[in-house]
Structure 1
């Protein structure tokens, strides 16, 4: 027998090479164990080569090697991912008959995988099939299905699953409530989410940090700053752990709702007591500093990122560059772009398009053209909003029409080429 480590090594060289070695070894009378077969099948499933995976499965069985739970699981997941639901159900039935599916550990990934892909109808179909063959789902499986419905905005369907769970004699846990609260907030039904928080508090279940984070984010996103701040204070008073995730939601929420000075004050308090922060926190506050025209403080915070061992994100660089351009600090913007490249932070289409638009809005046509050239050089797409801005600024009635010849011909509005 060949160890599973050897098989992993073969697959790492490429599937074609691994399959060739697999056949050569079999011809020489050297057969893998069940783990070796599983590695080959799993790789084939992930590549969408389901027929080949099933051939290997049949070869394994013919060699007298009994499939284990992991083998069936990779084949079922592969079949579902590529639309072979009849085959998936056959494999599940076979695994059940072999006594390999005694609990939800086998079934949960099947339901969860479909839900994460947004294919809840398929998840529900598999769920019903699993129940139909005599398996009793646990809370984790019900939660996964509810999360799938909430993910696509179907909270009423999620509540139907909750009712079915209760009818089966199972009690919701904190994750169940968190899923439903998130579902309500995602579709803007914040008050129903708040009602659910009150309901679970009265039932003796203590709301978690995640639940509060969901509610806080929902309230801030809907512009309800006062109740959001009240919830945040209540969270602190209740002794519920408050981490960097919560602080990031509050700081960002305050900034988005024109409470930037409050955000800065809170941030200073957090730093004074050495609360652990991350690059998201600092990026949020850099934006806040620019918003209140505190340019030097924004620069200092950017320097802090590297000083405390963090790495700026593409969002951080984008905020620095676009605000430097707005402030007329063009050399600083170019330096920031160079620093980004040297740091190995890949600039994307979104960043370059945003920079081009800011330059154009500020009348810096030459600079805008330079960054348009970077888009072209990297074969990145020019966004519709960038094209629309170019047309509006350089058309016959646009305020930059006199500078249209500075643009590459491909970007000049057709009416100006006459």
Structure 2
């Protein structure tokens, strides 16, 4: 009848509109549409509730978000799951809004959901991103109290947090702990620590750690090589980096453009022009375009930037 011809907006129209308004942060407008919808006897569906709950959670009105959760469960519509809330927390943490993410965490426990390892790791990551290491470990403690064991992602996040704020020694202590008990370090763990050591100017320790990594038989990734070669170049070991780069090239290791650009710049820096030009030509021939052209590298050497 008339409804089918779009005179009365149906569930689909409303849910599309409400989710768009929520994404734009226009929650008052979204709520107007929500009330209008109910007034017309159109039952809100999961999409509508999820959009509103996500909107209010992200824009700081948790009381309203909680109300909507209870309202939907009373109507027999299944409540959003823990992954839904963890993903909202993740977005907040990425924006540096860790305290807001904590509020969502409390909302989650209030409505009777069980936080899982992803929920805890998200919060830990949030604190690490803003350099709040003590708070990150606080979350780790409450995670352990909740009977959830830290995984390799938890440890990698903490190690990365330490390295980011220049606390490489604490990062190393954590790394040794991993070797001794819980989750064993992965390629990513080694990459984080190697990068931290190079950034701290501890080239010798980094080289030693790299050998340890190879001895352990852990996969060495392109990222690992990128960290090693870049780290050597940044710490005035360009010649050593070039030698390693050439040996790896002879072993047919495939490099990405970032490494190749680093190496061309390094070659210019130590006046190995022929090699740089050769590498540049080889890359261009392979169809990859180095993102530092030779002129800019030369300018950098002669001190005109």
Report the TM-score, using the length of structure 2 for normalisation: 0.89
Q: Quick one: distance in 1 between partners of 2:156 and 2:202?
A: 20
Q: Do the aligned partners of 2:90 and 2:122 also contact (CA within 8 Å) in 1?
A: yes
Q: Which residue of 2 aligns with 1:163?
A: 141
Q: Which residue of 1 aligns with 2:67?
A: 90
Q: Which residue of 1 aligns with 2:94?
A: 116
Q: Do the aligned partners of 2:93 and 2:101 also contact (CA within 8 Å) in 1?
A: yes
Shift of 1:195: 1.3
1:26 counterpart = 2:6: yes
Q: Which residue of 2 aligns with 1:181?
A: 159
Shift of 1:273: 1.4
1:325 counterpart = 2:299: yes
1:47 counterpart = 2:24: yes
Q: Quick one: distance in 2 between partners of 1:188 and 1:293?
A: 32
Q: Quick one: distance in 2 between partners of 1:257 and 1:44?
A: 51
Report how many residues are paired.
301
Are the structure 2 counterparts of residues 204 and 296 from structure 1 closer, same or farther at C-alpha, using a change threshold of 3 Å? same
Q: Do the aligned partners of 2:197 and 2:203 also contact (CA within 8 Å) in 1?
A: yes
- Secondary structure of 2:45's counterpart equals coil
- Which aligned pairs between 1:365-384 and structure 2 lie closer than 5 A? none
- Which aligned pairs between 1:272-291 and structure 2 lie closer than 5 A? 272-291=250-269
Report the TM-score, using the length of structure 1 for normalisation: 0.66
Q: Which residue of 2 aligns with 1:410?
A: none
Q: Quick one: distance in 2 between partners of 1:43 and 1:247?
A: 44
Shift of 1:52: 2.4
Describe the superposition over 1:305-344 as per-residue Cα deviations: whole angstroms up to 9, x where unpaired.
343343433xx24xx333333567xxxxxxxxxxxxxxxx
Name the stretch that deviates more: 113-122 or 123-132: 123-132
Shift of 1:93: 3.7
Higher relative contact order (CA closer than 8 Å, sequence separation 6+): 2
Q: Quick one: distance in 1 between partners of 2:234 and 2:93?
A: 31
Are the structure 2 counterparts of residues 326 and 171 from structure 1 closer, same or farther at C-alpha, using a change threshold of 3 Å? closer
Shift of 1:25: 6.0
Q: Quick one: distance in 1 between partners of 2:144 and 2:122?
A: 15
Q: Do the aligned partners of 2:58 and 2:88 also contact (CA within 8 Å) in 1?
A: no
Are the structure 2 counterparts of residues 46 and 204 from structure 1 closer, same or farther at C-alpha, using a change threshold of 3 Å? closer
Shift of 1:113: 1.2
Describe the superposition over 1:77-101 as per-residue Cα deviations: whole angstroms up to 9, x where unpaired.
3334434343333334434554523
CA RMSD of aligned residues (A): 2.5
- Which aligned pairs between 1:50-129 and structure 2 lie closer than 5 A? 50-61=27-38, 62-68=40-46, 70-97=47-74, 98=76, 100-101=78-79, 103-129=81-107
Select the structure of larger CA radius of gyration. 1
- Which aligned pairs between 1:260-409 and structure 2 lie closer than 5 A? 260-313=238-291, 316-317=292-293, 320-325=294-299, 358=304
Q: Quick one: distance in 2 between partners of 1:228 and 1:93?
A: 54
Q: Which residue of 2 aligns with 1:344?
A: none
Equivalent residue for 1:209, pick from 154, 166, 187: 187
Are the structure 2 counterparts of residues 298 and 81 from structure 1 closer, same or farther at C-alpha, using a change threshold of 3 Å? farther
Are the structure 2 counterparts of residues 96 and 118 from structure 1 closer, same or farther at C-alpha, using a change threshold of 3 Å? farther
Q: Do the aligned partners of 2:11 and 2:43 also contact (CA within 8 Å) in 1?
A: no
Are the structure 2 counterparts of residues 129 and 299 from structure 1 closer, same or farther at C-alpha, using a change threshold of 3 Å? same
Name the stretch that deviates more: 44-53 or 119-128: 44-53
- Secondary structure of 1:275's counterpart equals coil
Are the structure 2 counterparts of residues 300 and 152 from structure 1 closer, same or farther at C-alpha, using a change threshold of 3 Å? same
Q: Do the aligned partners of 1:76 and 1:110 also contact (CA within 8 Å) in 2?
A: no
Shift of 1:60: 4.4
Q: Quick one: distance in 1 between partners of 2:156 and 2:89?
A: 19
Q: Quick one: distance in 2 between partners of 1:90 and 1:238?
A: 53
Shift of 1:251: 0.5
Q: Which residue of 2 aligns with 1:218?
A: 196
Q: Quick one: distance in 1 between partners of 2:53 and 2:230?
A: 42
Are the structure 2 counterparts of residues 95 and 237 from structure 1 closer, same or farther at C-alpha, using a change threshold of 3 Å? farther
Equivalent residue for 1:248, pick from 226, 229, 235: 226
